[in-house]
């Protein structure tokens, strides 16, 4: 089946992220001076303003920081509504936006802030694998 | 001790476009600007040709060209709905420094008409780096776009942290609608004016259509047409006008993030910082505020902002409405025009906040230009706070009546 959702336009400095995603790896930018990771990818470390940045493979695990259920949706995601969006606190620090999998959008009260989640990648085209996060059954 | 800019300038007039709301015949954003500016000139007696500084989102130069004026000071700050509070801050500085004596802050946005004729007039806000922005690159896959799709995440986190409920916030929508029923210019004034207008109950808010859980449609502001303008003047100029000055006692601005992805604490905004700056400049505190005009893009925005402004303890912002303090007759009236929820909201709501604050403190909330009847309070002080973007940027003003 063809992937019919928006496919991100790549920037000039995010190639390692998308190359990692192809292999199922979650790559994060890390500052070599203060050792902190950050998200989204910058040209400069937002913590200490160093430009000595590298890419490291992350655990691909995190926790739900907060979430919402999208009912009124326009565009390619409309047929999926209602669906759950969430911000994920990465184990390595900082936060990612995602569409959450393994949850019931009709029962939002059952989704738990702090619940553990794991990343998975869906192929969108030859070059692009998009990260989604799934709640881990405890 | 008050700061340097304390009462360095006053708002000396505030006016709106001839018609606002859900216009039957569409108008352009520029048209809404010009109507408001013309009404402002008539109200204050200040000819448009005497305007020395122009403050608006994005397209100030095009406005000046259209008006045929050549200002000495041009500001195009466009960081969302709070831009207009920031414009006032910037105008105070420009007047205090002696560069100008008369500043125009102006707004026109055909949020509703744009559906038919386009040209929203947001002054390029939000376009930013566009597809070249790594924040957009890492967010665009997930279908978030509208404001409620973002703001719902903050409401869920606030509920989680403080144990607040959707019903708590529903009181904000209900009370704000009560104010709108006193204001004939409010889009939701009555059933006659709009099929969904007139009083609403907390249960109705709870049961209305889901937009982005937990936000139902009655937790969300409208998107209508609005144009408005205020005139800011030095004390010297203000003294020579027939309109009442409302003094700018304090001002501050700040930001937390541009993209919600970077929001550190989903239960707090930079309004705590912009308010601290404004209170410090004014030499006043939240306990001395007798009226609050707060950007209520969503009920959750109003609740969090009330907390950030020090009007309620963290987690208790909603109690101002729930316990009736913010309601007509309450000890701290909030959003006396009916708010973005029920009065008007064109996309950027900072201007209607300023206009209503001016009318209330100048005693013209009932009979000023389009002031209309029934909602005048006795307040002599007012805190105004705008929020822009996705709970991103904030601008706060402390206003004081002339007497
Ligand atoms: Zn660093």
User: What rounded mean pLDDT belongs to chain A?
Assistant: 96
- Rounded CA-CA distance A83/A66 in Å is 14
Residues B344-358 pLDDT 10s: 999 999 999 999 999
Tell me the chain B residues in contact with residue A99 when contact means C-beta distances shorter than 8 Å: 141-143
Q: What is the CA radius of gyration of chain A?
A: 16
Predicted local distance difference test score (pLDDT) of residue B370: 56
Domain of residue A116, residue span: 15-135
**Which 97-136 residues of chain A touch chain B by CB within 8 A?**
97-99, 108, 113, 124, 130
User: What rounded mean pLDDT belongs to chain B?
Assistant: 94
Predicted local distance difference test score (pLDDT) of residue B236: 98
Across the range B228-251, mean pLDDT stands at: 98
In a domain, A114, yes or no: yes
Cis peptide before B249 (omega within 30 of 0): no
Tell me the chain B residues in contact with residue A65 when contact means C-beta distances shorter than 8 Å: 157, 266
Q: What is the ipTM score, two decimals? A: 0.94
The encoded tokens of residue B308 equal 């950030």
Residues A48-100 pLDDT 10s: 999 999 999 999 999 999 999 999 999 999 999 999 999 999 999 999 999 99
Across the range A25-53, mean pLDDT stands at: 96
Helix runs in B118-186, H state only: 134-137, 147-162, 166-180
Instruction: Assign residue A125 the CATH number of its domain.
Output: 2.40.50.840
Tell me the chain B residues in contact with residue A72 when contact means C-beta distances shorter than 8 Å: 146, 148-149, 210-212
Measured in angstroms, how far is the CA atom of residue A45 from the centroid of ligand 1? Answer: 5
The continuous run of DSSP H or E covering B211 comes out as: strand B210-213
Per the structure, how many domains does chain A have? 1
The encoded tokens of residue A14 equal 């995010």
In a domain, A7, yes or no: no
Predicted local distance difference test score (pLDDT) of residue B126: 44
Q: Which residues have C-beta within 8 Å of that of residue B349, sequence separation ≥ 6?
A: B81, B221, B295, B296, B297, B340, B386
Domains of chain B in sequence order: 10-116+222-401 (3.40.47.10)
The encoded tokens of residue B276 equal 């601290």
The continuous run of DSSP H or E covering B395 comes out as: strand B393-400
In a domain, A53, yes or no: yes
**What are the residues facing B263 on neighbouring strands?**
none
* Band of residue B125 on the pLDDT scale cut at 50, 70, 90: very low
In a domain, A40, yes or no: yes
Predicted local distance difference test score (pLDDT) of residue B136: 86
- Rounded CA-CA distance B83/B61 in Å is 16
The continuous run of DSSP H or E covering B66 comes out as: helix B60-67
Helix (H), strand (E), coil (C) string for B239-303 = HCCCCCCEEEEEEEEEECCCCHHHCCCCCCCCHHHHHHHHHHHHCCCHHHCCCEEECCCEHHHHH
The encoded tokens of residue B366 equal 């009932």
* A44 contacts chain B (CB < 8 A): no
**Distance of residue B259 Cα from the nearest chain A Cα, in angstroms:** 10
In a domain, A72, yes or no: yes
In a domain, A105, yes or no: yes
* Band of residue B212 on the pLDDT scale cut at 50, 70, 90: very high
B169 φ, ψ (degrees, to nearest 5): -75, -30
Predicted local distance difference test score (pLDDT) of residue B368: 53
Compute the C-alpha angle B353/B354/B359, nearest 5°: 100
In a domain, A128, yes or no: yes
- Rounded CA-CA distance B52/B56 in Å is 13
In a domain, A106, yes or no: yes
């Amino acid at each position: 089946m063809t992937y019919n959702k928006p496919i991100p336009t790549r920037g000039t400095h995010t190639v390692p992220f998308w190359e990692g995603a192809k292999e199922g790896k979650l790559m994060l930018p890390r500052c070599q001076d203060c050792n902190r990771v950050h998200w989204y990818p910058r040209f400069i470390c937002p913590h200490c303003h160093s430009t000595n940045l590298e890419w490291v493979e992350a655990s691909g695990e995190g926790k739900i920081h907060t979430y919402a259920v999208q009912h009124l949706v326009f565009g390619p995601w409309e047929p999926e509504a209602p669906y759950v969006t969430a911000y994920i606190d990465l184990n390595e620090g900082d936060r990612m936006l995602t569409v959450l999998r393994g949850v019931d959008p009709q029962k939002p009260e059952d989704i738990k802030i702090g619940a553990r989640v794991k990343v998975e990648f869906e192929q969108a085209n030859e070059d692009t694998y998009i990260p989604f996060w799934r709640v881990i059954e405890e | 001790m008050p700061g340097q800019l304390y009462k360095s300038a006053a708002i000396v007039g505030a006016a709106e476009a001839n018609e606002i709301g859900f216009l039957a015949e569409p108008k352009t954003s520029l048209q809404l600007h010009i109507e408001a500016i013309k009404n402002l000139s008539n109200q204050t007696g200040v000819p448009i040709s005497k305007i020395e500084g122009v403050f608006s989102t994005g397209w100030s130069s095009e406005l000046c060209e259209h008006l045929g004026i050549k200002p000495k000071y041009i500001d195009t700050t466009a960081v969302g709905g709070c831009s207009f509070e920031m414009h006032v801050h910037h105008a105070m500085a420009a007047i205090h420094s002696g560069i100008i004596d008369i500043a125009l802050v102006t707004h026109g946005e055909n949020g509703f008409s744009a559906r038919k004729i386009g040209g929203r007039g947001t002054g390029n806000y939000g376009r930013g780096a566009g597809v070249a922005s790594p924040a957009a690159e890492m967010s665009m896959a997930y279908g978030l776009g509208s404001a409620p799709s973002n703001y719902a995440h903050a409401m869920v986190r606030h509920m989680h942290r403080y144990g607040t409920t959707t019903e708590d916030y529903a009181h904000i929508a209900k009370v704000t609608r009560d104010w709108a029923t006193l204001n004939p210019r409010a889009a939701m004034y009555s059933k006659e004016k709009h099929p969904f207008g007139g009083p609403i109950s907390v249960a109705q808010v709870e049961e209305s259509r889901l937009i982005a859980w937990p936000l139902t449609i009655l937790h969300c502001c409208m998107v209508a047409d609005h144009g408005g303008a205020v005139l800011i003047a030095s004390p010297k100029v203000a003294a020579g006008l027939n309109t009442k000055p409302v003094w700018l006692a304090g001002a501050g601005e700040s930001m937390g993030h541009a993209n919600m992805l970077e929001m550190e604490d989903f239960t707090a905004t930079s309004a705590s910082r912009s308010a601290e700056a404004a209170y410090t400049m004014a030499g006043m505190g939240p306990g001395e505020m007798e009226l609050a005009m707060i950007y209520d893009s969503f009920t959750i925005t109003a609740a969090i902002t009330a907390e950030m402004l020090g009007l309620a303890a963290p987690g208790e912002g909603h109690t101002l409405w729930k316990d009736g303090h913010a309601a007509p007759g309450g000890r701290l009236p909030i959003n006396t025009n009916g708010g973005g929820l029920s009065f008007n909201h064109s996309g950027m709501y900072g201007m209607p906040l300023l206009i209503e604050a001016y009318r209330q403190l100048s005693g013209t909330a009932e009979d000023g230009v389009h002031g209309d009847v029934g909602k005048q309070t006795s307040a002599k002080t007012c805190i105004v706070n705008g929020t822009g973007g996705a709970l991103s940027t904030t601008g706060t003003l402390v206003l004081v009546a002339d007497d």
